[in-house]
Structure 1
Amino acid sequence: MLPKDKDPTANLCSSNMTTALALLGFAFVAIVCISFAGKYHNNHVSVPPKLKTFDEIRLSIGDHLIKSVNGTKIRQNLRAITPEPHVAGTAANARVADTISRIWKANGLENVHFVEYDVLLSYPDYDAPNHVSVIDRAGKTVFKSNGTSPVIIPSEQSAPGAGVQWVAYAAAGTVQGEPVYAHYGRQQDFERLEKLGISVKGRVAIIRYGFCFRGDKVAFAQKAGAIAVVLFSDPAEVAKNGTDFSQLYPNSEWLPSGGVQRGSVMNGDGDPLTPLVPSKADVYPTRTIDEAYAQHVLPKIPVLPISYGDAYEVISRLNGRPVPLDWQGGLNFTYRLGPGFKDAGTSIKVEVRSTLKKRHIRNVVGYIKGAVEPDQYVILGNHYDAWVYGAMDPNSGTATLAEVGRALVQTMKDTHWRPARTIMFCNWDAEEFGLVGSTEFLEEFEKQLTDRAVVYLNVDTIHSNLSFEANTIPSLFQVVVDTAKRIPNPMKSEIKRARKTVYDTWVRAFPGNKTPSYPDFPDMPVPGGGSDQSGFLNFLGIPVVDFLYRNTSWSEYPLYHSMYETPFVSEHIFDTNDFAVHKAVGQFWAELARKFADQPIIPINISILADQLLNNYVHDLKVAIEPLKHRYPEAEDARVQLSHLIKHCQHFVHRARQVESEITALKQRNHDFLNPDQRISQLSRRLMKVERCFINPRGQPGSPTKRHLLYSTSDKDCYSSTVMSSVYDSVYDLVNAKTTKDKVAAGRDLASAISLVQLGVQCAVKTFDAAI
């Protein structure tokens, strides 16, 4: 382990190229090794007839790696990590970190160590659960929630405090008032209530989960004047086959009536007291707790999640008109809006016990050092902290990541192969509270990662067996699709339908509709927030892939953040064939990492990026801006700037095609060995830098961590992503401006936002020029 005050990545720069590569005992291995060393040693190698090219050798290594991933070992890892609840900042979570460290070291990862921070976290009173009550006019309690979820499988769910229902960073306190049903609690839902003449000011908002990050729901409710928020999971989303016990967990994946979704309601990523700087003991905090409240990073009102069994007792009593048809949920009665209850004088009481505490967290980091380019990092990441047991979110990914490391090391031992670039393994702490561990890491090592990181590959959770899904950016579309085509389909039912690979099911479940030039691509959304890939892309401009297995009709899963996420679900409900789905995710993860770590030219396709930028992003922007000319003369500068952007995007398309042609020619000319010409290394380094061209160091107005000019998380829902949000925000501001002065200012902001994107495009083109 390195000293705590040292850069944990720094020692990679001093690693020497492995001399044993030239001493291997059989021809297959010698060819592979010399392929990496050829950059420095001009050796020509005769290739045996069975393997005619180095591409074939690399695919053979990949085949070995894919076969080395073992579902049984993933299952064993999962059991080792999830015996007890392990919320970030607790002794139990520290024990999980120690377990991960031991597994990684036993698997052969190098320099396994902790990177530590002290951060502000939030906890309930585990000995005195929170409650929602219905109080009649005489002060008698008509109904009171239990405050805990019932144990269903005692052998897995009996730890003290496991069932306590709470959300992190909710304000402590007891409030009492009239309830109002606010549907999903989105901004448009509160606007609709206002149009219906119903205010939540001074009242308790009853909000169902779904379609929006819970922290955004609370922020919108607080802004509308609510004095508290009660959250619940509606059967329409989490018990679609009905609420009869035979249709629910443990007989299926659907949430039982006492289940509750936990989570964080903080708005923002990282330690709330140290935005933009790492939360180290010797670093001065950049924000106070009072400022965090004033800036709406932390809510000022109590917030409590309840089960749909308890929600029945509250919502069934509501007064007022019936909800709009599209607001009706899955409980067996007509939902009403309120305000108040049918029995006059009856009120709702919300009691929340919550404390803020400074706690120690630890990211776990380890390596497989590269043989040729040790200072270029292919980073694999997942978080390990959980709200309760976390056997799906996140430890399905944690268990799989450990097996990916073991399979890579096993492949190295079996073939004497070593990747050309360094593969870096990261298990993040305190992700559930707001991407805290990864954000602090990015803030501490911003300069090193900007220079060295090739790609970040993230898995948060594996929670279904229906289809693979990857969220990524256009420059990685091709390598993601090609890799999915190499992974055997884990589902026997799909194989019987002639869908032999992960790709075959994926492209059918999520057909692409935004890449007409590439009809064989599935839909690959831009990654949003909600997991650790967010900062890598939006803050540093590092290309990312966030992938999982999921159901096809709902982005979340019914048992999400509940106490019922234990190994039973994977072993007996959705991954019963020796963890075949977990194994498939691990195979994809390992093989994709190998491609980035081992291809002479990094598989980043800027031609697809340029095509998407011109024919998708800018095309849509033109459609949005063109009508403004008839009503808003203040948009004229923006229209002129858009014409400049289109011209530069067209140039980017042309230049990108030239670069791709050169890459193709280099591959064809050097299919037998690595060309010692430095052009290959030069092209790879420049491909790494393209995404960084779209990073604006100043960030978006009011959001300094949102620095990517093309991609960011939505202000309306931080789970989802937006494209060119600064530009579209300025369009919105112009259309909604009330005064001439505001219209002029919005028009200038719009032209400026378009100009910044244009500068990013010009930077991408110039990245490949011979001289400045």
Structure 2
Amino acid sequence: MLKRYAFFLAAGLLLGPRARAQTTPPPAEAKPLLGFAPAAAAAEYQLETKFDAQLKAGNLRDWMKRLSAHPHHVGSPYDKENADYMAGLFKSWGYDARIDISYVLFPTPKLRVLELVGPTKYTAVLAEKPVPEDATSGQTAEQLPTYNCFSKDGDVTAELVFVNYGIPKDYEELARRGIDVKGKIVIAKYGGSWRGIKPKVAAEMGAIGCLIYSDPKDDGYGQGDVYPKGPFKPETGAQRGSVLDMPTYPGDPLTPGYGSTKNAKRLDYRKAPTITQIPVLPISYGDAQPLLAALAGPMAPADWRGALPIPYHLGPGPARVHLQLAFNWKTEPVYNVIATLQGSQYPEEWIMRGNHHDAWVNGASDPLSGLVAELEEARALGELVKAGWRPKRTVMFCAWDGEEPGLLGSTEWAETNAKDIQKHVVAYLNTDNSDRGFLGVAGSHTLEKFFNQVGRDVQDPEKNVSIIERRKSLDLVSGSPEAQKDARDRPDLRIGALGAGSDYSPYLQHLGIPSLNVGFGGEGAGGEYHSIFDSFDDFTRFKDPTFAYGVALAQTMGRCTLRLADADVLPFEFQNLSNTVAKYGTEVKALAETMRTDTEKQAKLLADKRFDQVANPDQPLLPPKAQEAVPYLNFAPLDNALAKLEQSAQAYAQARRGPNKLSDDRKKELDQLLYQAEQQLLSTEGLPRRPWYRHQLYAPGYYTGYGVKTLPGIREAVEERKWAEADEQIRRTGAAIERFAGQVNRAAAVAGPAPAQ
């Protein structure tokens, strides 16, 4: 999946070969911990010191080398071998470990043909060239070829059109130049949005085929030296990846909303709604250059042009392209490794920690950089158990399979076990690929204050500051104006909201489980993503050579797991959430107002026949189409709900400040109210046109893919100018927030003084 954090500052020195991440030692008088009484907080700090002492960077290195030794995509022998190996490790550390199997659709290519048939001829190579400096890049017989999983079969020939990143606004720009892609094959650059959006939008615009390439300006020599001299994408490198329409629903496309057990009822794959409507193929910039060079027509806008040594024309034609794709539409098993450590006091409350283990090829960075940190966390917890510790709550370590094709393993496990998950799971903690640099964290804002305390107590391996402070420094230097203001004015770090792209999605957005997704990045940039060059050699050369940040990730997520497992009362807090959701409300109201103003300005310009010309006066832009006026929407249901949320958050904070001693029964009751509060933010109907997504605060955007839309029902209705739908979504979102506020009020009542007898 995507999972790359947008931290683009590269600074600092590499650590020596024996360097390890350090923790910030607690002061003599331990800092307060959310959910812990003072004495319990001191004991927790002592436990975390013992946990840190167990962490060894050498283990991460050894496991990455072992797990990335061969390609391990879904259906491959090494995928199953890795699952068995990890299950054995968990058992050796004292866990009850098992492998749960789902059966999912996983197409692989049997025919790939791409030819330029006019006015000149070229046959695309469609193969990555191994390099001698990379020990596993030459495992050709075991590697999946370059392809986009869940592309449609197809055999099409048509004129070519260059569509920049292939997102909706790019087609608006083409339309203003009188260029229509109906009946054409489009070629788009990777970037600007998730790859699956490109064929989705192209099909909606009438295109019959789609090519996606990595331009060297974005992912190649335009960034620096190419592999193996440097980390960036070489000429033959290509990005595999799924184009499943995950903004509609993730998981097995043949079992929407229910688990893909062996005997589950399945849709006909030819009718599955999340499989692309047109054939799509990823290619290298080496294969893209002859196709783009054969285009004529208007020059592309300046900001569309890449780094290839050619003029970037838009077309259509005279370049004509033949694209033929055929796939093996097979059902394959996916192997989810589930390792459980039973809780001693509240065994019915589960802390879930996950990372996937499948890869497109060898997958050292994606996903093993995060997985080996998770393994080391589990091993260190096992050592604490041997020394006499036992978690109060049950801890589950999960290694998911089938994430790359579309969150297949985690989604099917979640759908199969939905009732138990919603009854028992306190929080889901996710990692994926991670390398050197800056903290990246997003998730449920009920966990924001909790995570800030975790990040406060982990020190960055390269700088003598906490990982929170280093990230805030990045925001001050290169963040958005809003992020810069937060970094200056807020004492803590505002965490991001979750869209899609990794295994947290079914837990948060479908089942309402509080979730976090955490990693490091920004100093290990490169072009290995989803290619044969995502290898142990590449990772240890360019990503995190000493595994210092892998250890920092283990320290961070280990603290999350330990504190959630052992807190006296679960460390949820609602004032940060209230503040953030109020900000989302302000944003959607401002969006509607801006659209109203822009529409009025555009109408006046059209009335005056004033619209811009392109640089070439012989190619004037067509005037934009007149748009319907934006009505004044009634945001009162949202405003009223936000006011109630603020009041309930304050009530809970006040109740927890009191010296109230809770019985075990009241603690259990309070815990359940806290961890099931997020479920109140789900709607039974789900979001318009995609009911699988039920969370009213966070969802991937319908046209952004991985990118999050907050208050998604309202925001997307406004963006798409569906005013009746916007009114309905304002009411529905307000109702969900009011349900949530009611649950927080009930928690405040339980957390407060015991009722008089």
Distance 1:514 1:476 in 2: 22
Which of 523, 526, 532 is the equivalent residue of 2:503?
532
Task: Give the aligned partner of residue 566 of structure 1.
Answer: 535
> SS of the counterpart of 1:768?
helix
Question: Where in structure 2 are the equivalents of 1:484-499 lying within 5 Å?
Answer: 484-491=455-462, 495=463, 499=464
Q: Which sits farther off after the overlay, 322-331 or 275-284?
A: 275-284
Deviations 1:19-63 (A, max 9, x none): xxxxxxxxxxxxxxxxxxxx9xxxxxxxxxxx9822111111012
Question: Where in structure 2 are the equivalents of 1:694-709 lying within 5 Å?
Answer: 694-709=681-696
Deviations 1:630-656 (A, max 9, x none): 9999967x52xx334323422322232
Contact 2:134–2:537, Cα closer than 8 Å, also in 1: no
- Note if 1:617 corresponds to 2:573: no
- Note if 1:589 corresponds to 2:557: yes
Distance 1:220 1:176 in 2: 19
Task: Give the aligned partner of residue 27 of structure 1.
Answer: none
Task: Give the aligned partner of residue 320 of structure 1.
Answer: 297
Contact 1:529–1:713, Cα closer than 8 Å, also in 2: yes
Which of 178, 181, 187 is the equivalent residue of 2:162?
181
Task: Give the aligned partner of residue 652 of structure 1.
Answer: 645
Task: Give the aligned partner of residue 719 of structure 1.
Answer: 706
Q: TM-score, normalised by structure 2?
A: 0.84
Shift of 1:206: 0.5
- Note if 1:604 corresponds to 2:572: yes
Gaps of 5+ in 1: 1-38, 40-50, 738-742
Task: Give the aligned partner of residue 403 of structure 1.
Answer: 376
Task: Give the aligned partner of residue 258 of structure 1.
Answer: 236
Task: Give the aligned partner of residue 392 of structure 1.
Answer: 365
Shift of 1:538: 0.6
Question: Where in structure 2 are the equivalents of 1:74-473 lying within 5 Å?
Answer: 74-108=60-94, 110-125=95-110, 130-136=112-118, 142-152=121-131, 153=133, 155-159=135-139, 160-162=141-143, 164-239=145-220, 241=222, 247-268=225-246, 269-285=250-266, 287-292=267-272, 295=273, 297-341=274-318, 346-414=319-387, 416-462=388-434, 464-473=435-444
Distance 1:188 1:412, change over 3 A: same
Q: What letter is aligned with 2:588? A: L
Task: Give the aligned partner of residue 505 of structure 1.
Answer: 470
Which of 435, 446, 453 is the equivalent residue of 1:475?
446
Distance 1:645 1:348, change over 3 A: closer
Distance 1:466 1:647, change over 3 A: same
Distance 1:677 1:52, change over 3 A: closer
> SS of the counterpart of 2:136?
helix
Task: Give the aligned partner of residue 34 of structure 1.
Answer: none
Distance 1:568 1:629 in 2: 54
Question: Where in structure 2 are the equivalents of 1:673-712 lying within 5 Å?
Answer: 676=663, 678-712=665-699
Q: What letter is aligned with 2:472? A: V
Distance 1:683 1:750, change over 3 A: closer
> SS of the counterpart of 2:107?
strand
Q: What letter is aligned with 1:400? A: A
- Note if 1:541 corresponds to 2:541: no
Distance 2:708 2:168 in 1: 16
Contact 2:161–2:314, Cα closer than 8 Å, also in 1: yes
Distance 1:758 1:600, change over 3 A: closer
Shift of 1:117: 1.2
Shift of 1:748: 4.7
Contact 1:131–1:351, Cα closer than 8 Å, also in 2: yes
Shift of 1:627: 7.9
Shift of 1:515: 5.3
Distance 1:277 1:320, change over 3 A: same
> SS of the counterpart of 2:442?
strand
Shift of 1:769: 6.3
Shift of 1:163: 6.7
Distance 2:98 2:144 in 1: 33
Deviations 1:551-573 (A, max 9, x none): 17x9x852111110111122122
Q: What letter is aligned with 2:395? A: I
Distance 1:623 1:142, change over 3 A: closer
Contact 1:644–1:758, Cα closer than 8 Å, also in 2: no
Gaps of 5+ in 2: 1-35, 477-482, 601-627, 751-757
> SS of the counterpart of 1:214?
coil
Distance 1:94 1:629, change over 3 A: closer
- Note if 1:665 corresponds to 2:658: yes
Q: TM-score, normalised by structure 1?
A: 0.83
Distance 1:66 1:388, change over 3 A: same
Shift of 1:196: 1.2
Deviations 1:538-585 (A, max 9, x none): 101111111111117x9x8521111101111221223122x1111111
Distance 1:481 1:530 in 2: 23
Q: Which sits farther off after the overlay, 447-456 or 305-314?
A: 305-314
Shift of 1:195: 1.8
Contact 1:515–1:612, Cα closer than 8 Å, also in 2: no
Shift of 1:524: 2.1
Shift of 1:758: 4.5
Contact 2:499–2:699, Cα closer than 8 Å, also in 1: yes
Contact 1:81–1:100, Cα closer than 8 Å, also in 2: no
Distance 1:758 1:506, change over 3 A: closer
Q: Which sits farther off after the overlay, 274-283 or 387-396?
A: 274-283
Distance 1:392 1:473, change over 3 A: same
Distance 1:180 1:477, change over 3 A: same
Which of 43, 59, 62 is the equivalent residue of 1:57?
43
Contact 2:673–2:743, Cα closer than 8 Å, also in 1: no
Q: What letter is aligned with 2:371? A: T
Distance 1:102 1:124 in 2: 33
> SS of the counterpart of 2:496?
coil
> SS of the counterpart of 1:147?
coil
Shift of 1:161: 4.7
> SS of the counterpart of 1:706?
coil
Distance 2:419 2:160 in 1: 50
> SS of the counterpart of 1:353?
strand
Task: Give the aligned partner of residue 603 of structure 2.
Answer: none
> SS of the counterpart of 2:742?
helix
Aligned residues between the structures:
675
> SS of the counterpart of 1:687?
helix
> SS of the counterpart of 1:404?
helix
Q: What letter is aligned with 1:118? A: Y
Shift of 1:241: 4.8
Distance 1:438 1:334, change over 3 A: same
Task: Give the aligned partner of residue 20 of structure 1.
Answer: none
- Note if 1:69 corresponds to 2:49: no
> SS of the counterpart of 1:371?
coil
RMSD: 2.6
Distance 1:457 1:313 in 2: 45
